[in-house]
Amino acid sequence: MDNEQLPSTDEAREQLLDALERPDQANIHALVRDWHPALIADAVEALPREMRHDLWERLDTADRGQVLIEVGRGVRQQLIDEAAHEELLAALGTLEMDELADLDADLPVSVLDTMVRAMDVQRRQRYEAVKQYPDDSAGGLMDADAAAVREDVSLKAVLRYLRQMRKREGKLPEHLDSVMVVDRQNHYLGVLSLADVVSLKSDTLVKAVMHTDVPAITVDTEDTRVARLFEDHDLISAAVVDEDGRLLGRITIDDVVDVMRAEAEGEVLRRAGLEEDTDLFAPVLSNAAKRAVWLGVNLCNAFVAAWVIGLFEASIDQVVALAVLMPVVASMGGVAGNQTLTLVTRAIALDQIGRGNAMQLLFREVASGVLNGAFWAVIVAIIATLWFGSTQLGVVFGCALMLNLLTGATAGTLVPLLLDRLKIDPALAGGVVLTAATDVVGFFSFLGLATLFLL
């Protein structure tokens, strides 16, 4: 099937639902046979839980392994729990070593032990080389099958080496755009482009055409930092080295794209207080339990804000306009704070903020808050004066709005910096803390000023 004929995710889901609802389900294998595993995985995640195993049973063995890699962790766990051990072992046997290392934490111990015992010596060595490093590090991302040559050999020898590797392994390493260059002690020196191997004179020495300006990545580098290096240097693959500069493996662009996607999706979910890899069709009870924690936190914030409002109950009784206008103050502060929070959280993720520029950033955001606060304070003061016929109320409203916009800018800067210092993900907790600050300060400043100057 041509790529142009492949269905979209929506179309794939609808086609699968239609096929799975038929009594015979005979055409499911033919339907998905030419689909990419990523498309099958997207469709699996969109299926109700009770239909997923029926689809799994009709997939080719190679597709099963790749689907386990592509689906979210919640869906993956369901497929693993419901699959027979023999099916799992056959599917796992089709995966690369770095992919196996990503799955081993989710596998039953009996399956994992059988899988390792069944490996040949070379596969077991590659698996152990990747398994010893955390999944969210360069070591966890790398393939241990990096093709490497020395700088004192000719391009003809390199080509012969690649042909021998192809004959021995049955294939070349995936996404092989270059060959690593090392010395006799296996220290990384640079890379040799395959384009140079096939286009330059065969007697040319590697050291004459290799690129020494391509950075290697240390094995303990965080995966998000790896993704940033690939982005900054336009890499397709990169060498992974130990602390002494010895070559351990390589990372390829497909692994980095997965990191970028997971990070983006994770940040969106964390902002809503949800776990990463949340199953769309997870059981209702567990789904509700996971969400209850952050609902409880937000409820506490709401009660604190309500308590602040209760302190000025008499003022609200006397000036009804306060009840009409006070949500505006809190809302504007929250919006201003979230703008700053998003900017600072992104900068932290990109390693753009340190001790040297944190105070400068704070002053900049405070200055922006003052300018925005002054501008909108004048606007809302005029609106409130015309609406309720009270200049004093308009001035109080404008001053409270300015104070809360300043609070939002300040909290939006300091909260993520503080959370990051405490090793707490700003994307997870920043919004909750910020909302509490702007609500409390907004209500207190508006009602407090109104009590002082209007009553």
For residue 63, what is the domain's CATH number?
1.25.60.10
Shared domain for 296 and 428, answered yes or no, is yes
Tens digit of pLDDT at every position of the chain (455 positions): 444 466 776 777 787 777 777 766 667 777 777 788 888 888 888 888 888 888 888 888 888 888 888 888 888 888 888 888 888 888 888 887 777 877 877 888 888 888 888 887 777 777 777 788 888 899 888 887 788 999 999 999 999 999 998 888 788 887 888 999 999 999 999 999 999 999 999 999 999 999 999 889 999 999 988 998 998 888 899 999 999 999 998 999 988 988 888 777 777 666 666 665 666 667 777 777 767 777 787 788 888 888 988 888 888 887 888 888 989 999 999 899 998 998 898 888 777 887 778 888 888 888 988 999 899 999 999 999 999 888 999 999 999 999 999 999 999 999 999 988 888 878 777 888 888 899 999 999 999 999 988 87
Residue 160's domain is classified under what CATH number? 3.10.580.10
Clarify whether residues 239 and 160 are in a common domain: yes
Residue 101 lies in a domain: yes
The predicted structure's pLDDT at residue 399: 94
Q: Which of 377, 429, 428, 435 is nearest to 411 (CA)?
A: 435
Identify the helix (H) or strand (E) that includes residue 178.
Answer: strand 178-182
Which structure tokens are listed for 98? 């770095």
Question: Is residue 173 domain-resident?
Answer: yes
Residue from 428, 395, 434 nearest 415 by CA: 434
- Residues 156, 124 share a domain: no
Rounded CA-CA distance 369/142 in Å is: 45
Is residue 176 in a domain? yes
Provide the 8-state DSSP code for 294.
H
Q: Which two tokens stand for residue 332?
A: 């504007």
In this structure, the answer to whether residues 423 and 303 fall within a common structural domain is: yes
Three-state DSSP class for 245? Answer: coil
d(CA 382, CA 376) in angstroms, rounded, equals 10
Rounded CA separation 280/75 (Å): 9
**In-domain check, residue 260:** no
- Domain total of the chain: 3
Residues 6+ apart with CB under 8 A from 427: 266, 267, 270, 271, 345
Residue located via tokens 């693959």: 237
Helices marked H in 93-242: 97-103, 109-118, 121-131, 138-141, 155-169, 194-199, 206-209, 223-233
Q: Name the pairing type of β-strands 237-241 and 247-252.
A: antiparallel
Residue with tokens 């000025």: 312
The answer to whether the beta carbons of residues 450 and 319 sit under 8 Å apart is yes
Question: Both 288 and 351 in a single domain?
Answer: yes
> In this structure, are 209 and 62 located in the same domain?
no
The CATH number of whichever domain residue 449 belongs to comes to 1.10.357.20
Q: Is residue 187 part of a domain?
A: yes
> 181 lies in which domain range?
148-254
Could you tell me if 122 and 163 lie in one domain?
no
Token pair 């990503």 in the structure block, residue? 102
Residue 138 lies in a domain: no
**Domain assignment present for 261:** no
User: Domain ends where: 102, 132, 162?
Assistant: 132
206 and 114 in a common domain: no
Is 366 domain-assigned? yes
Rg over alpha carbons for the chain, rounded to the nearest Å, is 29
Same domain for 188 and 327?
no
Helices then strands, counting H and E runs in the chain, come out as 22, 6
